[in-house]
Each structure stands twice: as structure tokens, then as C-alpha cells.
Amino acid sequence: MQQLKNIGSVYCGTPAWSILNSYIEESDHSRVYIITDTNTRQHCLPKLLNRINFEKSPQILEISAGEQYKNINTCMELWRSLSQNNADRNSLVINLGGGVVTDLGGFVACTFKRGLDFVNIPTSLLAMVDASIGGKTGVDLDSLKNQVGVIREPSLVILDVDFLDTLPQAHIRSGQAEMLKHGLVRSEEYFNNCLDFSIESKNSEELIWESVQIKQQIVEEDPMEKGLRKILNYGHTLGHAIESHFLETRPKAPLLHGEAIAIGMILATYISSEILNFPKDSLEEISNGILQIYAGQHFSESDIKSIRELMIYDKKNENGRINFVLLKDFGDHEINCEVSDSLVRKAFEYYADVCEKITLA
């Protein structure tokens, strides 16, 4: 029997299912609604239904899988389904899925009848180490990421790493990028351990749990992202803009969130080395390490121009200033840093150079 791990409202390991069972038994919700997507309904729902004793059968609400469905139209479908299936203010929503399901399902729960209780059961690595924790919920606005949403903590987050057995390798890598980010903003040793992360290795659950702890401790200190929590956006100012650009530019194949953030972290670390003297040898090691995991991407002049324009929509901007989180070293951050256009351009040149060196090596 695995040991129960707990921090805040997050529980991990097989015994976490008993925590959810007790919560459902004791909280006396009038009805339970489980939001899944087409993939998690097939691969993860049977396990959940096996583990939990529902007094009344829960209602299953299914959405299409994929970032392109993380929008207000999908919310409308879910709000209508909740309404047609008689959800009341004492209903419970369980979000069973990756980051799209936990972000969007959380938003639907927070807004339906001014707020229902919800529980997150993340089934992707990205959702386990990042999206399901800390109460950020929301949807994209066209190709702009997470522009509409609210912050409200779920009642519980239940982590069972066995769900990762059916997750494609590219999605494991996508979640690994957020673990690497936790290393950059907190600990060099953890960053290096995460470079070798593999779901098959013995320490995978330990590494996942370390990420959960890093994130949860930061969220507890600054739940509404007034200051410290902004460090969790390391690499995201450029990363989100890159992700949006790939989403809206055909025929480019969309990048997974973590793939875009991995590029954003190399760019942000280069900028950190120029503005805050982040050590150059560590910059090289970080860039090489990341590019061993994530394929290099080509950015043309017009790609870079459109990415710079998209950065204007970043939620961390204030008074028209584009705000970056930068690092002086591993775990030593500075928030609200202003970065010139020319330095952003130089960062892309640096990225192209390291990609080329790796290809030639």
C-alpha cells in the first residue's frame, strides 16, 4: 500500500482515494457531475468509478479533447448540461482530465449558479504538477491563452500517478517542462533531476510530488498572484505568445503547452543572463539540457514579430508594460522586469544558435 502524501488540499497515492470517498460521503452534495473529455472518459473514468462509492450514480458530462475546445462555447455546453440535468447550488463537480478539463471544468463550476464545489483529479503530468493546483481556472479567448477566468481553490485535488501509464510521451514531456520550471525557480538540484525524468523510473512519483510541494508552497504564500506567485510564470511571457502563435498560424502544427514553455525558458534564461548576470555556464547547460528533450523550432522574422505583438496580451502586464520574471541564478528571482524589443530579438538569435549547434553536434 502506497503512503499517503498531503499538502494543503492535495492528496497523492492510492490512499488518496479514501480521502475522496470520505469527502463525498460526509459532504452530502445533492448530485455529482463528472466532467471528462473523450480520452479520459475511455482511459480514466472506469478507474474512478471503481474507486469511489457513489450513493447515486454520477452524471457524466463529456467534452471534446484538445486545447482548441478550451473556450466559452464548451462552457456554454456544460452550463446547459448542468442546467438540463438539474444541477443545484449544492451539487459537486469532479474534473477528471488534463489541464484543459481542470481549468475549464473549474471555471464552469465556479460560475454556475455563482459557484459549485469542485474536485480536481488530474490525469496528465502537466495537470498533476501545475494546472490542477492553486485554483487558477479559465478559458482561452480565441488564440489568447487563459484570458478569462477566476482563481478559486478546489475542495480537493486527488493525484494518482497510475493515470500516466496511458499518457503519450509527448504529453509527459509537456508536463516535464513545468517540473523543470519549478527547478529553475527553486533548486538547481531539482532541475537537474527533472532533466532525467521518466515515468518508468523508480523516483518518478517522488519527483512529481516535489513539484507539487514547490507549487503549493508558493500558492499558499501568494494565492492571488500579487507578487511571489508570478515566479511560476517563468518562461511563460514568451512561451504563451509562442503557443498562441503556433495555434493561430497555419500550417504550423500546434505546440503542446510545455513544448512552448521549454522554448520560453531558454529565451528567458538568456535574457536573465544579459540583464541580471545569470551565470553563462548554467545558461549553456540549461539550454542544452532542454534541447535534448524538446525538438528545436525555427522562427522566421515574421514569426518573431507576431510573437512580440502577442506578448501584449500577457496577464502579467501592467500599464502597457510587458513584465518578465527573470532569474539572477537558480531560485533567485526578480519579477516585473522590463525587457527591450532588441533583447527579445537577441534571445531568439541565441536560441537559433544553440539549436544549430545541437543539430551539428
Footprint on this chain of ligand GLY (rule: CB under 6 A):
130, 134, 136, 229, 232-233
Q: Which is nearer to ligand GLY, 31 or 182 (CB)?
A: 182
Task: Work out whether strand 117-122 and strand 10-12 pair parallel, antiparallel, or are unpaired.
Answer: unpaired
**Which grid coordinates are listed for 161?**
500517478
**SS3 at position 239:** helix
Smallest distance from the beta carbon of 233 to ligand GLY, in angstroms? 6
Minimal CB distance residue for ligand GLY: 232
Q: Which is nearer to ligand GLY, 82 or 153 (CB)?
A: 153
Q: CA-CA distance, 356 to 340, in Å (whole number)?
A: 25
Q: CA-CA distance, 332 to 88, in Å (whole number)?
A: 47
Sequence-separated contacts (24+) of 298-304 with Cβ below 8 Å: 298/352, 298/355, 299/348, 299/351, 299/352, 303/245, 303/249, 304/344, 304/345, 304/348
Smallest distance from the beta carbon of 192 to ligand GLY, in angstroms? 22
Q: Which is nearer to ligand GLY, 160 or 178 (CB)?
A: 178
Q: Which is nearer to ligand GLY, 223 or 279 (CB)?
A: 223
How many separate helices (H) and strands (E) can be counted in the chain?
14, 11
Smallest distance from the beta carbon of 152 to ligand GLY, in angstroms? 13
Smallest distance from the beta carbon of 239 to ligand GLY, in angstroms? 11
Q: What is the DSSP string of 291-313?
A: HHHS------HHHHHHHHHHGGG
Smallest distance from the beta carbon of 288 to ligand GLY, in angstroms? 25
Q: Which is nearer to ligand GLY, 41 or 136 (CB)?
A: 136
**SS3 at position 122:** strand
Smallest distance from the beta carbon of 134 to ligand GLY, in angstroms? 4
Q: Which is nearer to ligand GLY, 222 or 248 (CB)?
A: 222
